[in-house]
Structure 1
Amino acid sequence: MVVSTFLALVLAGFAAAKTCTNFTIPVDISSRQGVFRKVPLDVNLDASAFMLEFTNIGQNYTAVLLQDYQTLKGSYKISAKFCHPDGGIKGSVVQVLTHGIGFDKTYWDLSFNNYNYSYVEVAVREGYSTLAIDRLGIGNSSHGDPFNVIQARAEVEALNVITTKLRNGQIPEIKHSFDKVVHVGHSFGSVQSYWLSSLYPNNTDGLILTGWSANGSWLPATIAGFNLHIARLNQPLRLGNTLSQAARRTFRPWSSGGELIRGVQFLLRSIKVSLSTKDIWNELGTTEVANLITGYNQTDIPLNYPPGYLTWSDFTANVGAFLLPGHYDIALGLVAESTKQPVTAGELLTIGSSPPSSSFSGPVLVVTGRQDTIFCGGDCLATGTDAASIPAEAAVLFPDASAFEAYIHPDTAHGINVHYNASAAYEVIQSWLGAHDLGA
């Protein structure tokens, strides 16, 4: 079975507990950010060169490329999915969901296995409304120059505008104002939610920071493990500008019953090479071959990312960064690989530029998987200090918080929502919100 077999699974199933609407939100932003010298990022060897410079322990590549600062002003569109209980918007609290690198807004409402992995499903069941966004530059939101437009600060400014519109009832598709906005992030989305709480502490009422800690020591190892590729070359049918309809017509008949595997076996035998079905599946399902034939995306058209948008190489790199072997469904992991989203050079160069602390005075909950490699090096309890966990050390960033707690979720790596016990983490979050005056 190959990746294309699993693409149908992401579309399967339905849930009747919620009503959802997809739309775009116009945002006008003003963002103070860096002007970087652009280096070649046209082919995969360029991506490798960028990775080597970025991870070089002897230099700060952000400082090397930084030439100046500018105030970026522009009008953009943010793709969003708003969900509420079937009976209508029931409360005055909305959760704004911001995904991390490699994902888009579907991270929060995975349809796999009849929505059993959906964060939105659990939140809506508790009476919350949710707004999940594609971050500026990613997915179906506006794309832009990958060095000097799509940077972390610009995305934070877009998030702030959306938050203000939610409070003021200025999103026509929702037609409702919310008294309280809880920001729920994952990974880079948590970085941005924290950043918003520092720049605009009065524009959030609660922070849920998942897949996060204040320790960025393992970022270089993460980027090295990605084995970076140019996104449009890694998945040309989906992330590039190649029409995907012809590819789907070609590969769909092969995706059931092992036809593709048998076809490859026949080809290899004709040149006197014999590989087992298992070996061929591993080649087709877990390597770059799978990405080459992946053509599905939600809009059914190529996303057409320009050079400078990067992604990890294949499913094995995905596992190394995000997943804990034995504790996730490989079928869902392959779906995550076939629907992955890229990261820009500008995001990587600015991800560590968030403010050193936040004056936010509301409650903060950090939820991180015990075996998170990106923010804990593989074990969030291996602090080497008196701290209860590596994420718990982030308490110093929130000196004015009314409450701070770090919860370590067992049997889980970085991509919490893709693990078997994801829903248990969701229940912890909803219960915690209710206990801190942020119930639906």
Structure 2
Amino acid sequence: MSFKRLYKAKSFTGGSSGIAEYRADKVVHVGHSYGSIITNLFLPRYGFLSAGVILTGFLIDNQFANLKVEIADLSYAPEHNPALFANRTSGYLAFGSITALQADSFKKDALDPNVLSLWNDGIQSSLGVGEVLTLGTGVGDLVEDFTGPLQIFVGENDFAFCAGQCAGTFNMTQLHGIYPNVKDLDVYLQPDTGHVAQLSLNATAGYKVIFNFLKKNGI
């Protein structure tokens, strides 16, 4: 099977998907939090597949090594919320309280309490023990083969990666050393925003920043 054929959508859907024959001219890889860690790990090996990369809820800085997982007050997911997590095994955790979820994920100034309640009660996802144990995997590794544009987009007050204050925690010279061949390296701190920038009140402004970055680079 050719490489091109392997990555066609119907290779994974058995041909039943309506997008099976869709062919993208360019692919931008976007991650958030642990998804950004996985995307960053992907780049040294398969960076040639990406026209551009957006890493949100992520930053290589002098605070990440001090990440305090206990802020999440992690608990056994099925006991915490049986309605959401009844089918999870003992390997899955969840935020122990709505207070822990808020402290880890949001800045008060950009928080809609209704969104917080909805997420806590109805749409939050569980957290695998393996995810917690591998949080630092690949972070800071040399990425030589990716040559497209890369934007690191993080809330100014991200607790997970910056202990609540990202300004002054990262070094652009260090980042250029990690990503030496990128076309355009940008770090953007979304003002008054915590870890989950996508659900904050100023999310629209954040998305404009991301899309303007891609547009500037011809994507």
In structure 2, the gaps of 5 or more residues are: none
Q: Which has the higher strand share?
A: 1
Deviation at residue 325 of structure 1 after TM alignment:
1.1
Alpha-carbon shift at residue 351 of structure 1 (Å): 2.2
How many positions carry a matched residue from both structures?
Answer: 207
Which residue is 1:347 aligned to? Answer: 131
Of residues 408, 420, 425 in structure 1, which corresponds to 2:189? 408
Match of residue 88, structure 2, among 301, 305, 317: 305
In structure 2, what residue type is equivalent to 1:380? C
Superposition pairs of residues 122-201 of structure 1, within 5 angstroms: 164-165=7-8, 172-174=17-19, 175-201=21-47
- The answer for the alignment partner of 1:369 in structure 2 is 155
Q: Which amino acid aligns with 1:437?
A: G
Q: 2:82 is matched with which residue?
A: 236
The 1:311–1:393 alpha-carbon spacing in structure 2 relative to 1, beyond 3 Å, is: farther
Distance 1:328 1:418, change over 3 A: same
Q: Does 1:331 align with 2:117?
A: no
Partner-residue secondary structure (3-state), 1:184:
strand
Deviation per residue, 1:324-355 (Å, 9 max, x gap): 11321100111111221111111212221226
Letter in 2 for 1:375: F
**Which residue number in structure 2 is paired with residue 217 of structure 1?**
65
Instruction: Give the TM-score taking structure 2 as reference length.
Output: 0.86
Contact 2:30 2:56 in 1 (8 A): yes
TM-score (structure 1 length as normaliser):
0.44
Query: How many Å separate the matches in 1 of 2:128 and 2:175?
Result: 26
Cα root mean square deviation, aligned: 2.4
Judge conservation of contact 2:41–2:137 (CA < 8 Å) in 1: no
Deviation at 1:365, TM superposition (A): 0.6
Q: Does the 8 Å CA contact 1:323/1:412 hold for their aligned counterparts?
A: yes
- Give per-residue Cα distances to partners, 1:36-62, cap 9 Å, x unaligned: xxxxxxxxxxxxxxxxxxxxxxxxxxx
User: Structure 1 stretches of 5 or more lacking a match?
Assistant: 1-160, 241-303
Residue of structure 1 in register with 2:205 after alignment: 424
CA distance in 2, matches of 1:333, 1:393: 35
Query: What corresponds to 2:168 in structure 1?
Result: 382
* Residue aligning to 1:317: 100
Residue identity matched to 2:38: Q
Question: Looking at CA atoms only, which structure, 1 or 2, has the larger radius of gyration?
Answer: 1
Match of 1:341, SS state, is: coil
Larger RCO of the pair (alpha carbons < 8 Å, separation 6+): 2
